[in-house]
Amino acid sequence: MSAETYLIAYLWLMRIGVIKTYEKPNERESELEPDNLNIANIISIIALVVSILSGLAVAFFSAWITSKYQSKIKAIDSRKKLIEDFYGPLLSILTENEMLYKEFGPNRFIGRSAEVANAKGETWNSLKDKVVKPNLMQIRQLIQKYWLQSEAENKNHLKELFFHCSAFCEYDDSPNEMYSKYKYKPEWKTLIKNESECLKKETK
């Protein structure tokens, strides 16, 4: 085939669009195209970062709420346990000892006839050894066990009650200055009861 025939075929293919002529790209388009791509990439990166940060913020907030809720539940359970294991038994023992003292204590036989005083005195001494003193030692053990939880270090009435239990059991048979210093005070029970009531309100 001659060169002329090749040329005619080439021109015909160009005419029908099979072969396209080289066109110089528009300079403005070539300048703008990279900028458009950069802006699109930046927007995509920003969207990705925002999405990640939003996810982290939601996760952190959810964890914070859960932790706060669990801490609150734990604090409530701790208060309930303190009421059940410390304040409840403590108040029951104090009430029992008070009742025994009022019914059988020295105030019931002092000033009576010798015969009545001796009889009631023996009854009181028996109750004191078998019930009152063991109760006081139990109170002492309770305060020791829950010293931190009850914040006894900052509560004079609990410390004084603790010393009273020790002094009464140790020096009741031979009263001395230590025995007199830590005599029982009815207001101790009132203060303990008030603390228990406050804790009950905090668990609701």
pLDDT digit string, tens, across residues 55-103: 888 888 888 888 888 888 888 999 999 999 999 999 999 999 999 988 8
Q: Look at residue 21 in the predicted model and tell me its pLDDT.
A: 52
Q: Look at residue 65 in the predicted model and tell me its pLDDT.
A: 86
Distances (CA, A) of 199 to 30, 87, 155, 195, 196: 77, 10, 15, 6, 5
Using the predicted structure, report yes or no on whether residue 6 has a pLDDT greater than 50: no
Distance CA 94, CA 136 (A): 8
What are 19-52's pLDDT values in tens digits?
Answer: 455 455 555 444 545 555 577 777 777 777 788 8
Q: Look at residue 19 in the predicted model and tell me its pLDDT.
A: 47
Distance CA 24, CA 22 (A): 7
Distance CA 191, CA 59 (A): 45
Q: Which residue has the higher pLDDT, 185 or 5?
A: 185
Q: Give the least confident one: 34-43, 110-119, 134-143.
A: 110-119
The token pair at 122 is 């023996």
Q: Look at residue 43 in the predicted model and tell me its pLDDT.
A: 76
Distance CA 52, CA 136 (A): 63
Q: Give the least confident one: 36-45, 61-70, 162-171, 181-190.
A: 36-45
Q: Look at residue 32 in the predicted model and tell me its pLDDT.
A: 46
Percent of residues, the chain, with pLDDT higher than 70: 73
The token pair at 80 is 């309930």
Which of the four pLDDT bands, split at 50, 70 and 90, describes residue 156? very high
Mean pLDDT over residues 166-195, rounded?
84
Which of the four pLDDT bands, split at 50, 70 and 90, describes residue 53? confident
Q: Look at residue 54 in the predicted model and tell me its pLDDT.
A: 84
Q: Look at residue 160 in the predicted model and tell me its pLDDT.
A: 94
Mean pLDDT over residues 135-141, rounded?
96
